[in-house]
């Protein structure tokens, strides 16, 4: 059997939302840690099929925002609508089941496992057979494993990491580890993919590669992406819409060109004399 003949290209799951419609709506969200206001009254939305960037200077509350979306933090005020339903107080694994996957600012992979195994862990949410079946190995568990392996191989092919399929992740250079992490997130077939500083610590070539993969994920697999990024150049090139945070408040929201010329954004980034 030749794979060329099969059409196994997986898409993000059909969640009944048409491209361009609201996938996620964040309404008046505030998050406090004790007396510290990490996020104050922020509203923005993510449309299906777009690349949405969240930017801001250090400490602006970007990662907190991502953790709120992800369900890791529960905001004290405000609501989050995801796929048309309101949700509150959720554990990260519920977020995954709902179709949200993420990567981390500092790579969070299993360093002692191979690339293949790391990406396979992304499929674990879909594995239905219980421990007993898994221990028996043959039969349904094996069939299931093969199905998932196919999906994982597609991702490996997609991200062009065939040559490191069986290399331990801990031995890989940083740029490739980031790519493996993206692979693991893709394996969850998310309808919303959250990327926390996907280019942090990369050299120019690695950044260009990563940008290309992010665009491909978005265009070819139809995955909606929300990303946090420091590198303004990358953000402006990649994203369809940008929301800018500063000191936990939203100061701008719109297409890259509009945001770029917004005086408040320029002040936030370059600083102003007080």
Contacts of 267 (CB under 8 A, 6+ apart): none
**Can you give the binding site for another protein, defined by CB under 8 A?**
1-4, 149-150, 153-154, 156-158, 160, 162-163, 165, 216, 219-220
Q: From the CB of 2, what's the least distance to another protein, in Å?
A: 5
- CA dihedral over 73, 199, 262, 58, signed as positive or negative: positive
Query: Exposure of 145 by Cβ count < 10 A (0-12 exposed, 13-18 middle, 19+ buried)?
Result: middle
Q: From the CB of 263, what's the least distance to another protein, in Å?
A: 33
Residue 88 or 163: which CB sits closer to another protein? 163
Instruction: Look up residue 155 and give its two tokens.
Output: 């991702």
Q: Which DSSP symbol is given to 124?
A: G
Residue 220 or 264: which CB sits closer to another protein? 220
Q: From the CB of 161, what's the least distance to another protein, in Å?
A: 9
Residue 25 or 240: which CB sits closer to another protein? 240
Residue 28 or 220: which CB sits closer to another protein? 220
Residue 24 or 156: which CB sits closer to another protein? 156
Contacts of 32 (CB under 8 A, 6+ apart): 38, 76
Q: From the CB of 184, what's the least distance to another protein, in Å?
A: 17
Element housing 63 (H / E): helix 62-70
Here the contacts of 28-31 (C-beta below 8 Å, separation 24 or greater) are: 28/77, 28/78, 28/79, 29/65, 29/68, 29/75, 29/77, 29/78, 29/79, 29/80, 30/75, 30/76, 30/77, 30/78, 31/61, 31/64, 31/68, 31/73, 31/75, 31/76
Nearest to 65 by CA among 241, 264, 248: 248
Q: From the CB of 3, what's the least distance to another protein, in Å?
A: 5
Cα(199)–Cα(236) distance, integer angstroms: 14
Q: From the CB of 177, what's the least distance to another protein, in Å?
A: 16
Q: From the CB of 31, what's the least distance to another protein, in Å?
A: 39
Cα(134)–Cα(127) distance, integer angstroms: 10
Residue 65 or 217: which CB sits closer to another protein? 217
Residue 42 or 217: which CB sits closer to another protein? 217
């Amino acid at each position: 059997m030749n794979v060329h003949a099969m059409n196994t290209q997986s898409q993000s799951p059909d969640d009944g939302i048409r491209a361009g419609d609201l996938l996620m709506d964040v309404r008046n969200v505030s998050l406090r840690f004790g007396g510290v206001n990490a996020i104050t009254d922020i509203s923005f939305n993510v449309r299906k099929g777009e690349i949405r960037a969240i930017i801001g200077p250090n400490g602006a509350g970007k990662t907190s925002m991502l953790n709120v979306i992800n369900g890791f933090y529960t905001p004290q005020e405000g609501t989050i609508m995801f796929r048309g339903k309101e949700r509150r107080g959720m554990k990260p694994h519920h977020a995954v089941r709902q179709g949200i996957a993420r990567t981390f600012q500092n790579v969070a992979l299993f360093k002692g496992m191979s690339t293949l195994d790391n990406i396979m862990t992304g499929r674990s949410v879909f594995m239905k057979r219980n421990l007993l079946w898994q221990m028996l190995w043959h039969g349904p568990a094996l069939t299931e494993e093969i199905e998932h392996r196919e999906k994982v191989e597609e991702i490996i092919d997609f991200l062009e990491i065939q040559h490191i399929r069986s290399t331990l992740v801990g031995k890989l250079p940083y740029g490739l580890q980031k790519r493996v992490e993206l692979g693991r997130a893709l394996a969850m077939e998310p309808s919303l993919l959250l990327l926390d500083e996907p280019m942090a610590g990369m050299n120019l070539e690695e950044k260009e590669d990563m940008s290309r993969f992010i665009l491909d994920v978005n265009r070819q697999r139809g995955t909606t992406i929300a990303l946090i990024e420091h590198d303004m150049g990358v953000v402006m090139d990649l994203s369809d819409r940008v929301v800018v945070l500063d000191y936990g408040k939203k100061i701008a929201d719109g297409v890259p060109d509009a945001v770029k010329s917004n005086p408040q954004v320029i002040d936030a980034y370059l600083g102003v004399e007080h």
